Chain A
Amino acid sequence: MKRIISILIENKPGALARVVGLFHQRGYNIETLNVGPVFDGSFSRMTVTTRGSENDVEQITKQINKIIDVIKVSDLTEGDHHEYEFIMIKFKHSEKIQKILKSLNGKIHEKNNDAMVMSAWGSSSDIEAAIKSMGKVNLLEVARSGSIGLHEGEKVLKI
C-alpha cells in the first residue's frame, strides 16, 4: 500500500541525507520525495511516499523518529488527509495534452512555435493517470514535485 510520510526536521546540513539514507539502510524504497524550509526557516518539512505494510510503516516511522535531527514524523495515510502533487510539462503542441492538463488546474507558462510549457496540480493518482493518458509521442519533459500533504482537521505537524 502507498504511504505518505511527513517529517518535520531541523534544517541543518546533512539532515536530509540521514533520512534518505535510512530508507535505503532499512530496505525501503522512496517513490517520491519533497522537501523545503518551513516556519522560521530553521525547520524543513519532508514528504516521502513509499510502499509497505502497516508493520513496515510503523518500523520506518519509528526509525525516522530516532534520527536526532527529526522533530516529528507522521504517516498521513493513517487518517484523512489532503494530498497534492505539482507537475511541469514541456510538450510538442498537442490539443490532447493541453486538455488533460487544463482539467488538472493547468496553466500555460510558455508557448512558442513548436512547444509549450504548462504546469498542473492534483492528487498524485490523478497526476499519474494524466501522464499515462498523454502518451509518449508529444511529451518532451516532465518534472514532478512529488506528493505533499497535510492532515485533515485539527491534527498538525508542529513543535
Chain B
Amino acid sequence: MKLSGGDLLMRALKDEGVKFIFGYPGGAALHIYDSIFKQKAFEHILVRHEQGATHAADGYSRATGKPGVALVTSGPGATNAITGLATAFMDSIPLVVISGQVQSHLIGTDSFQETDMIGISRPIVKHSFIVQNTQDIPRIVQEAFHIATTGRPGPVVIDIPKDKTDPSQLFEYKRAKEISLRSYQPRVFPHPGQIKKASKKILSAERPVIYAGGGVILGNAHKELIALNKLLKAPVTNTLMGLGAYPAKDKYFMGMLGMHGTYQANMAMHNADVIIAIGARFDDRITNTPSMFAPNAKIVHIDVDPASISKIINADIPIVGQVKESLIALIKEIKRSKIKIDSEALDQWNMQISQWREKHGLDHDLYLSKIKSSMIAPQVVVQELYHATQGNAFVTSDVGQHQMFVAQYYHFNKPRRWINSGGLGTMGFGLPAAMGVKLAFPKQEVVCVTGEGSIQMCIQELSTCLQYNLPIKIININNEALGMVRQWQDMNYGGRHSASTYSDSLPDFVKLAQSYGHVGMKVTKQSQLKKTLEKAFAMKDRLVFIDVYVDPNEHVYPMLVAPNGSMQDMWIKKNTKA
C-alpha cells in the first residue's frame, strides 16, 4: 500500500515504538496532524506552548529511558522548541523533534512562518535532517532515532517541508532491517589495555572516590556501579545529574558534589588520590577552579564521548566506551587481579569522611527540630515530602534554590527518579517534564518541586494537565523571590536585590490552580505542612498545587567559594567558611 508523507511518518514512528507525541499544530504541520487524526498507534498530547512539548518529551525520556518525541509547526512553533532542545542537548537526552517547514519552493524567500530551523538549532542538536524527498521519511526517522539513542544520546531535529507530506503524493513504505551509518560508529566496548591500567591504579588507591554522573543513568549502568563498589568499598558521590545512580541510603554514599554539594563529598574529591569519574564531565559547577582541582589525584575517566575526556581536567587513564560495558569489563578485571584493595587505608579514609560528615554535613533531621518554629524552612518542605512519599516519587524540578534543596534533601535510591535540567538550568522545565513522567507512569507518584518564579514560566501547562487528567502534585516552594538570584546578590552584591523580588504582584496560586480546574492548597505555618501534604497525596486523581510559603532569607549551603577557590573552599553557612 502506498502512503502519503504524513502517513509514512506515522508508520515510521509506530515502528519505533512511539507511545506519545507532544505537540502543537500550525499551518506547515497540518498534513501531519491530519495523519495523526487517522492513526491509533500513539497518543498525541496537545500542550499549551511548544516549550512544554519539548520538556514533556524530555521528562518522558528521562523517566523511561526511551526517546521522547515532539512535533511543532514552522516559524514560531520551531523557535519555541529551541529552549527545550538546548535543555535536552546539555543533558544528553534522546529526543526526536519534528518541525513542519514551509513548502520547499518557498524556502529562502522569507515566506510566512519561515525560519531556518536547521540553522537555528544546529549548535544544540546532536544531528538534524531536512526532508528533501518524501520517500526518504522512513529512513530519516529510523536514522534519527538511532542517532538520538546511541553513543552519547542527544536531540535530533527532522524538518519537513509541507509539500513532503502532501496527502495526494503517495509512496511505498520501506524500513531497513538495521541501520549502519559509515560516518557514525560510536564506541561500545572499552580498550582492554586501558581497563587493565585502570584496575591497577584503582586497586592500589588509598583515598579513592567514585564520582558518578548522569552518564551512569543514561547508560543504564547503576547496577554495575553498585557491583563495582561492592568490590572497591570506596566513597561515592553523584553529580546533580547522577543522583539516583548510586543509592543514597548506601553507607558509602556521600551525597552530591560540586557548587552545592555536601562538605564531605567536596572534601573527599579534593583530598583523593584516585578519582574514578564515570559518565561525568567535570563541569565547572563541579571542579571550581580547574587548576586547583584535586591536586593529588590521578584521574580514571570512563565516558562514551571521547570529547568529554581531558576537556577540562586531564585524565591519566581515559576509557572510552559505553558506561555499562566499561564497568562490566572493569569489574571482571578487578576480580581477576592479584592486587587487593588496601582495606586498612580504606577504613581510615572512610573514617575521615565520616568525620567530615559529622563536622559540616547536612542536617537530615532538620524537619524534627524546626517543627516548632513558625517560618517554614524550605529544606524541611523537601524532608517532609520525602517522608510523605517514602522516597519513592518521581521528582521533577525547576531551577533555583528549591532545586538544590531537593538535590540535597530528597534521597534518591533509584535512577531516573530525579528529573531536572542540570546543564542548561532551564526555569519552566519542571511542570511539563512532570507531565511526560506521569503519562509514562500513571500509577506512580509524580511531584514537581518548583519555585514561584520558575512555575510561572510554563504555568499554562496546568491546562494540559486537566485535558489529559494528569494528577501531578506541585509543591511550590514560595519564597516570594527569585531566590537563587537573591542569594548571589546577598553574597556578592551587598544585598542589593536588583530585579529579584515581586512579592506584591504574585498571583494567588490557590485560585490560579482552581481556575485551571485543579485543587489548590496554601501552607504558611510549619504546623500545617505535614497534614497538608498528606491530604494532597490522598487525592489520587487530582492535580494538587500546594503553595508553601517559606522563610525567604534562607540560602543554599554548602556553596563553593568562587572565584579562585578549590573544592575544599566552601561557605557552610551565612558568612562562614569551612
Contacts and interface: CB of A to CB of B under 8 A. Distances in A.
20 contacts: A9-B183, A10-B183, A13-B130, A17-B119, A21-B122, A22-B123, A58-B310, A59-B307, A62-B307, A63-B307, A65-B306, A66-B305, A66-B307, A68-B126, A68-B147, A68-B181, A69-B127, A69-B183, A71-B182, A159-B182
Interface in B135-190: 147, 152, 181-184
B130 A70 contact: no
A113 interface: no
Interface residues of A, number: 21
Interface pairs A-B: 3 shortest CB-CB: A62-B307, A68-B127, A71-B183
Interface string A21-51: 1100100000000000000000000000000
Contacts of B310: 55, 58
Contacts of B119: 17
Nearest to A21: B122
B362 interface: no
Contacts of B152: 66
A116 B306 CA distance: 51
Given A68-B183, A69-B127, 10 more contacts: A9-B183, A18-B122, A21-B123, A59-B307, A63-B307, A66-B152, A68-B126, A68-B127, A68-B147, A70-B183
B118 A25 contact: no
User: How would you classify the secondary structure of chain A's contact residues: helix, strand, loop or mixed?
Assistant: helix
Contacts of A70: 183
B577 interface: no
A54 B51 CA distance: 40
B249 interface: no
B223 interface: no
B458 to A, nearest CB: 27
B305 to A, nearest CB: 7
Given A13-B130, A14-B130, A159-B182, A65 B307 contact: yes
Interface in B111-135: 118-119, 122-123, 126-128, 130, 132
Interface string B275-316: 000000000000000000000000000000111001100000
A24 to B, nearest CB: 9
Interface string B368-393: 00000000000000000000000000
Contacts of B311: 59
A69 B181 CA distance: 9
B307 A68 contact: no
A38 B92 CA distance: 33
Contacts of A13: 130, 132
Nearest to B122: A21
Interface string B498-530: 000000000000000000000000000000000
